């Protein structure tokens, strides 16, 4: 979904992150997020493609993880949910893509910061996954919840820049992609201290390679602001996201804007709306009280708004079980033999229908 301003808030408060060594672990990767990031941040796009450079970038990324004995499992988004809750968001993104393309065409790529992902980037990314035999799967719909459920079942972190993962109650937290340092470093396993060897040097029997990353955990945020963990989905929902139209919450935001000026949170945020909701949410006693307060400031379609608010909160908190695909069963059947990631497995666990020949 994505919460406007939340990613900036989290990254602007460095005390919410802990620097860790990434090695010897499973890692659930938000593939749809990663393939955009790798192209937009590592590939010159003035020629509208550079697929060979992009493929090399993807290959280097996954080989670096492998050298650190990190088992990557990539989960991709499928189609949008059939209830059309995200239809306005879909249209907005399509319009933004058209505007960006027109801007680049009119001014040239060197004069604008706009990006339009080349059409074959996703297929190039998938080709690299197949070539390197990286376990991967495409969910029927959005993959956020399925990723969160799998990460908690396997007790491992998630790799993503999607701000929604800052809201999920993930046991091992989330590692932002843009916070990764891909420089390989040897670590002495007996003393847990880094050595000063060159990254190209092969590790000895007493050393392991690692990369340095920053990890965010929900418990850190709760500790800093001293509020119940339910504060997080309320903060995300009432600020407005893909399921809750923020334009319909204008009266609510005006009502709370001046009520909590004397309260202080140990947080910095460039988004004043997000901070006003954060201060307001500190006094919330229950989810129902929060919803009722908002509905007092929604002039029309109260029943629809109630449903949207409840659906959004539940989507952040209901991560005990998979919604559409049992990823643990899918990947678990292939953990010992990656060659089994074939069409047959996709039939069994994803589509339930035979794929075309």
Tell me: the pLDDT tens digits for 80-106? 666 666 666 667 767 777 776 677 656
Same domain, 243 and 313: yes
C-alpha 294/C-alpha 305 separation (Å) is 9
Residue 28 phi, psi dihedral angles, 5° rounding: -90, 120
Asked if 64 and 207 sit in the same domain, the reply is: yes
Averaged pLDDT, 95-124: 72
CA distance 308 to 21: 39
Same-domain check for residues 86 and 203: yes
- Give the C-alpha separation, 284 to 226, whole Å: 13
Burial 25-60 (b: 16+ CB within 10 A, else e): bbbbbbbbbbbbbbbeeebebeeeebeeebbebbee
**Contact of 211 with 190, CB cutoff 8 Å:** no
User: Each residue of 294-310: pLDDT tens digit?
Assistant: 899 887 777 788 888 99
Q: Is the pLDDT of residue 179 over 60?
A: yes
Quick check: is 100 in a domain?
yes
pLDDT digits (tens, 9 = 90+) for 5-16: 788 878 887 788
Find the domain containing 281 and state its range: 227-317
C-alpha span between 290 and 280 (Å, rounded): 10
- Confidence check: pLDDT of 219 > 90: no
Domains in the chain: how many in total?
2
| 354, part of any domain | no
Residue 97 lies in a domain: yes
Residues 6 or more apart whose CB falls under 8 angstroms from that of 46 comprise: 109, 110
d(CA 208, CA 202): 9
At 340, the pLDDT band (50, 70, 90 cuts) reads very low
Show the beta-strand stretches assigned E in the chain. 17-22, 25-30, 70-76, 136-138, 158-159, 174-175, 181-188, 193-194, 207-216
Rounded average pLDDT over 305-321: 89
Scanning 3-108, the segments in alpha helix (DSSP H) are 6-12, 31-42, 51-67, 87-107
pLDDT tens digit string along 238-295?
Answer: 887 878 877 888 889 888 886 655 556 666 666 778 888 888 887 777 888 889 998 9
- Supply the mean pLDDT for the chain: 79
How does pLDDT run across 37-58, given as a tens digit for each residue?
Answer: 999 888 876 666 789 999 999 9
Q: Is residue 340 part of a domain?
A: no
Task: For residue 173, tell me if it sits in a domain.
Answer: yes
Q: Is the model's pLDDT at 171 over the cut of 90?
A: yes
Q: Identify which of 350, 331, 355, 329 has the alpha carbon closest to the alpha carbon of residue 341.
A: 331
Instruction: Say which CATH number the domain at 128 has.
Output: 3.40.50.1010
- 135/213 same-domain check: yes
- pLDDT over threshold 90, residue 211: yes
């Amino acid at each position: 979904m994505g919460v406007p301003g939340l990613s900036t808030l989290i990254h602007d408060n460095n005390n919410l992150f802990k620097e860790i060594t990434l090695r010897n672990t499973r890692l659930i990767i938000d593939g749809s997020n990663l393939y955009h990031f790798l192209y937009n941040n590592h590939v010159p796009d003035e020629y509208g493609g550079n697929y060979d450079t992009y493929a090399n970038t993807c290959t280097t990324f996954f080989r670096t993880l492998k050298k650190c004995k990190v088992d990557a499992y990539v989960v991709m988004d499928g189609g949008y949910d059939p209830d059309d809750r995200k239809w306005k968001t879909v249209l907005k993104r399509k319009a933004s893509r058209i505007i960006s393309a027109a801007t680049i065409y009119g001014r040239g790529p060197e004069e604008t910061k706009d990006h339009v992902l080349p059409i074959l980037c996703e297929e190039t990314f998938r080709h690299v996954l197949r070539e390197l035999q990286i376990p991967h799967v495409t969910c029927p719909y959005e993959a956020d919840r399925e990723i969160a459920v799998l990460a908690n079942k396997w007790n491992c972190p998630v790799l993503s820049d999607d701000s929604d993962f800052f809201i999920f109650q993930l046991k091992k937290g989330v590692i932002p992609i843009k916070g990764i340092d891909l420089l390989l470093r040897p670590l002495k396993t007996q003393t847990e201290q880094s050595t000063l060897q060159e990254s190209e040097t092969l590790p000895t029997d007493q050393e392991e390679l690692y990369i340095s990353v920053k990890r965010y955990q929900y418990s850190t945020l709760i500790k800093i602001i001293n509020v119940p963990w339910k504060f997080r989905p309320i903060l995300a929902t009432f600020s407005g996201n893909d399921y809750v139209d923020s334009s319909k919450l204008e009266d609510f935001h005006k009502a709370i804007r001046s009520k909590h000026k004397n309260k202080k949170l140990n947080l910095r945020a460039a988004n004043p709306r997000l901070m006003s909701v954060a201060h307001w949410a500190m006094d919330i006693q229950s989810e129902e009280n929060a919803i009722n307060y908002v509905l007092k400031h929604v002039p029309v379609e109260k029943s629809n708004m109630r449903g949207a608010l409840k659906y959004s909160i539940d989507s952040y908190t209901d991560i005990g079980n998979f919604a559409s695909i049992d990823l643990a069963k899918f990947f678990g059947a292939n953990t010992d033999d990656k060659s089994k990631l074939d069409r047959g497995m996709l039939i069994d666990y994803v589509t339930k229908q035979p794929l075309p020949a």
